[in-house]
Amino acid sequence: MKKRFFIAGTDTDAGKTLVTTGLLTAANRRGLRTIGLKPVAAGCEQTPDGLRNSDALLLQQAASVKLSYEQVNPIAFEPPIAPHIAAEQEGRVLTADRLAAYCRGTMMQPADLVLVEGAGGWRVPLSMRESLARLPQLLELDVILVVGMKLGCINHAILTAEAIARDGLRLAGWVANQVDSDMSCLDENITTLERLFRAPLLGRVPWLESPDAEQVADRIDLNPLLGE
C-alpha cells in the first residue's frame, strides 16, 4: 500500500529537506520505490533549463523514482522570500487547489512512499485567503514534523502540532534535527517533546558538520511509518 506524507517544519531552516532526503534514502535501502515532491519553492536560480531550487534538486536526486524537475517542483520563484509575496510580485495567483492538482498527477506514478515537502512553517501563506496547510488537507496526507532543535523549539513544536490537529490531520511522527551546534539541554528538550507528543519520534539527527542524506538515513526508523 502506498504511504504518503507531508513534511512540515517548525520554521524555515528546521531541516525539512535534509530529513526528507534522509527518509527517502532509508526507504531506498529497503528497496522501496520513493518519490519526493516540493510543490512550491522560493529561492531558485536561473539555469539554462529554467529556474532550479537546490532543495528540490536534492529531492529529485534522492528519490528512486526518477521524475522531471517540473514534476518535483512545479511552482518555482527566484527570490528567496515568502511564496505569496513572490507570487504577488510576479502577478501570479497561488492556490492550494492548483498545487494539489500538480501533486495528484505526479502521485499517480507507481511508488511505495511519497513525501511532499512544505515551505517554511505550517502557516506560511499562499495568499491572503489560505495557507500551505491547505495542501495536505486536500491531499489527505498524514504529517511528519521536523523540529529544528534550538532554543525555543518546544513552543514552536507544540504550537505546530496543535495547528496540525486543529486542521484535522494526523501527526504520524516527528524528527529531532539539531540545528544549533551548541544547544543547551538537548536531551532534556527531546525528552520533553517525547512526553508531550503522542506521535513517535522517528529519529534524532545531531548537528552535522557536513550533513547529507546517508547520515540522516542511518538515524531514521521507518517502522512506525510503514506499520512494521
pLDDT tens-place string over residues 26-63: 999 999 999 999 999 999 999 999 999 999 999 999 99
Instruction: Indicate the pTM of the whole model.
Output: 0.96
The pLDDT score that the predictor gives to residue 34 is 98
Residues in CB range of 83: below 8 A, 6 or more apart = 40, 42, 75, 77, 94, 119, 120, 124, 125, 126, 132
Q: Taking residues 87-94, report their average pLDDT.
A: 94
pLDDT band, residue 228 (cuts 50/70/90): low
Kind and range of the H or E element at 56? helix 54-62
Cα–Cα distance for residue pair 34/66, rounded to 1 Å = 9
Which residue among the candidates 2, 38, 66, 150 is catalytic per the annotation? 38
Q: Is 16 a catalytic residue?
A: no
Going along the chain from its start, the domains and CATH numbers come out as 3-226 (3.40.50.300)
The pLDDT score that the predictor gives to residue 206 is 96
Helix axes 186-196, 153-166, angle to 10 degrees: 20
